[in-house]
Chains A and B, each alone.
Chain A
Amino acid sequence: MAYVNITARLEQLTCPDCANMIASVVGRLKGVEQAEVRYATSKLLVRFDESLITWEAIDKTLAKLGYLVRSKVQQEG
């Protein structure tokens, strides 16, 4: 399996609850193994299986929730 870790800087999160909400929604996507959203830095840390889901799909979900991704960094493994 090809796992990918991506750290994405989101638009400013205004409330800590929104961070939890985004983490829950992304965490439930099929293929996503782990999703963590950090309020203080407005960052999403996500680990997913590339054979099951693409970053584009996660990005789309974030857009549906109303949050744009401003930048991202990818680490393999």
Chain B
Amino acid sequence: MRPENWQLWLRKNEKLLIIIVSGALIILGWLMGYFSPLARAILMTAAALAAGFPIAKTAWYALRAEVISIHLLVTIAALGGILIGDQWEAAAVTFLFALGEFLEARTLAKTRDAIGQLLDLVPAAATVLRDGQEIEVDPSEVGTGESVLVRSGGKIPVDGIVTKGSASVNQAAITGESIPVEVTSGSQVFSSSIVEAGYLEIQAQRVGEDTTFARILHMVEEAQERKAPTQKFIEKFSRWYTPAIIALAALTGLFTRNLHTALTLLVIGCPGALVISTPISMVAGIGNAAKSGVLVKGGEFLEKAGKVTLIAFDKTGTLTTGKTEVTAISALLGDEEEVLRLAAAVEKGSEHHIGSAILRRASSFPLPAAEGIQVFAGGGISGQVEGKRILVGNRRLLEQHNIILPPESEEWLTAREEMGETPVPVAAEGKVIGAIAIADTLRPEARETAAKLQQMGKKVVMLTGDNPRTAGTIARQLGLDEFQANLLPGDKVEAIKSYQAQGQIVAMVGDGINDTPALAAADLGIAMGAAGTDAAIETADLTLMSDDLDRLIGALGLGRATLANIRQNVIFAVAVVLLLVAGVLGQKVFLATGMLAHEASVMLVILNAMRLLAWKPNTR
């Protein structure tokens, strides 16, 4: 190796070398101790100096910035140990501290590695088509609108729309789901997905830091930093504890003249296991969630997920697929086609899932223009078509407009509602001319998910704007505990508040687009199938990136596991603190044993948190 490489190697492995040297000196010291107490004292002092020098250096630079660090406490304890003639204890304290730090850093690296593993998924290069030439560029340098080429085995470097080709794409980086999806012209694809087979030309929409994946990474990091209430409490405690122990050490030294005990108090002055107990479990829990396509905004939400007692579902898009379809049309006046045509004309501007179903069905007709469109939230829509006032909406909207529902229409509506469909009456000039029935497919896993949630001891309810009969049919099919129908968006908020008033901890699951207030009102707002929809990710506390209800069970289970993990860590750490203080004051614990207990407890807390990385929902 060249000299500069040696230097680099030394610098990188400095900590390990110091531990080896110091450890060797300690062993030598013990051996020599049989022959000469003086040699032993010298060797032990040398060991303490070797391991203690970097600690003292850190302590010194921190002190210059008026920060009292744990390094300072350890330095004083070690120096004190040498001065009162207990060189072995001084050596042990510094050696164990250095060894502890070294081992903890290595273990922590593994705990924190969920992010690292995600980072490995970031694409390194992009192939763009410029002036008919294929050029390789950095993914962040692709311009929006440019054509990007990805071949088999390649990573998609941008978020965009497929313009040419088809492929099976593994979107695990985004959704946590490793079963590939088939994409073709017109499909939305995400950066960091892998093209397993096929060829794609993609029109770039978002690049670099703006891609969904980059934002996920960013959010996970932010989430891991965000302090949960438990953590804030512990930090308050340690801010009080450390100075108290230092004061106690000073008083003990002054009044009892028992320097040994005073120095030992310094060693246990930083409640290490306690201060890392919560953040480390959170890092592991949030990391695990991110890998399975569950984005958590912060540790406190993972804690909440573990405490939820009631899950409220918005019907459309969560319990159902949200892919609505017209199933039947009834006409009282004129023919069915006319009913559909007029309804579609007013729904043209609507983004509601009922409107889009009607439009899809009417896509083969030329639609007349509609004027004076008026949207009634939770009711329907109206507009002027071919000189007639057309109204498409639910019973409540008809009542509000004093439109009477004829008995034959009422019969038809009831029958459709009992089948779990949503029939919508259509009126022209104040008279009902017919109705259109719309059905939404239940998610295949919805029933099982509800059952599993109930097995976990949670109440499962549905909050919907749909009519009571349709809602009732669906609730019965899924075996829900309760449902509330005919709700306006504001009513959903009220419903959630009344559950909370009953003492329930409420999670609201929505598609994140039209139920923002309800998501915000719940203790835990969960958005589903949110890959690519920024608004949902912004609003929700917890986002299920894939369109799979099973992930909900996993997320709640992980929340519970994280909560339990934190509790174990905190209880253990508090016990260690109490035992150490009692042990020191009772003259049972001295410098070496104090430091050993301190480092070992920190290590155990980290190892316990690591179990969360391997946690898997056992329901899958």
Contacts and interface: CB of A to CB of B under 8 A. Distances in A.
B511 to A, nearest CB: 30
Nearest to A14: B104
B186 to A, nearest CB: 35
Q: Which of A17, A65, A68 has the most CB of B within 10 A?
A: A17
A65 B62 contact: yes
Given A40-B225, A41-B224, A41-B225, A16 B282 contact: no
Contact of A14 (B12, B54, B65, B105): B105
A72 to B, nearest CB: 15
A12 B108 contact: yes
A42 B65 contact: no
Nearest to A22: B62
Interface residues of A, number: 25
Given A15-B272, A66-B57, A41 B112 contact: yes
A30 interface: no
Interface in B126-140: none
Contacts of B41: none
B109 interface: yes
Main SS at interface, chain B: helix
B272 A38 contact: no
Nearest to A42: B112
Interface string A50-73: 000000000001001110100000
A44 B69 CA distance: 18
Interface in B89-108: 100-101, 104-106, 108
Interface residues of B, number: 35
A65 B58 CA distance: 4
A3 interface: no
B12 A17 contact: no
A38 to B, nearest CB: 5
Interface string B183-211: 00000000000000000000000000000
A51 B213 CA distance: 36
B270 A68 contact: no
A14 B276 CA distance: 8
A11 B224 CA distance: 17
B224 A25 contact: no
A39 B224 CA distance: 9
Interface string B169-192: 000000000000000000000000
B115 interface: yes
Interface string A1-41: 00000000001111111101100110110000000001111
A62 B221 CA distance: 22
Given A16-B279, A17-B270, A17-B275, A25 B70 contact: no
Nearest to A67: B58
B61 interface: yes
Given A21-B67, A40-B279, A61-B61, A14 B221 contact: no
A9 to B, nearest CB: 10
Interface in B231-284: 235, 238, 270, 272, 275-276, 279, 282-283
Given A40-B279, A41-B112, A64 B101 contact: no
A25 B270 contact: no
B57 A11 contact: no
A40 B280 CA distance: 7
A38 B279 contact: no
A21 B276 CA distance: 16
Interface string B537-576: 0000000000000000000000000000000000000000
A65 B11 CA distance: 13
Interface of B: 11-12, 54, 57-58, 61-62, 64-67, 69-70, 100-101, 104-106, 108-109, 112, 115, 221, 224-225, 235, 238, 270, 272, 275-276, 279, 282-283, 602
Given A12-B108, A25-B64, 9 more contacts: A11-B105, A12-B104, A21-B62, A21-B69, A24-B67, A25-B65, A40-B221, A40-B224, A42-B112
